[in-house]
Amino acid sequence: MFTIEQIKAAHSKVRSGADFPAYIREMKSLGVTAYEHFVADGHIQYYGSGDFKIAAAAKWPPVEIAETGSAEKLKQALVIHQQGQTDYPTFCRQSAEAGVEKWIVDIIKMTCAYYDSANNEMLVEAIPS
């Protein structure tokens, strides 16, 4: 199965949202089937086949998530991030400001779903292959 070190190596190649599809292809090749990214502190839970899971530690001190989710703010942040105009930390901060508690990437379905703190789905996008 995959390790956190392998995932970190794959993630180190990501400079902006424009690099995300290649990152997902590499994650799939490692055996990652899904992951949950928690915006408040950046920790991530990775899943593989056979109930395999592994967690990456928090990346930053806890940040406040906006109480009310705004799909419009999230969409704006996504557009500029996917165009390569923002880096990952900036996108995460903007996601918190839009009320995103977490996102779940399903590598089998090739989707990324964003959720607010009440676990309401804010947006689901297809991941380009």
Q: Considering the domain boundaries, does residue 104 fall inside one? A: yes
pLDDT tens-place values along the chain, 129 residues long: 899 999 999 988 877 667 888 899 999 999 999 999 999 999 999 999 999 999 999 999 999 999 999 999 999 999 998 888 988 889 999 999 999 999 999 999 999 999 999 999 999 999 887
Does residue 85 lie within any of the structural domains?
Answer: yes
For the chain, give the DSSP string: ---HHHHHHHHTT--SGGGHHHHHHHHHHHTEEEEEEETTT--EEEEESTT-EEEEPP-SS--PPPSS--HHHHHHHHHHHHTT-S-HHHHHHHHHHTT--EEEEETTTTEEEEE-TT--EEEEEEPP-
The pTM (predicted TM-score) of the whole model is 0.89
Structurally, how many domains does the chain consist of? 1
Any idea what the CATH number is for the domain that residue 88 is in?
Answer: 3.30.1810.10
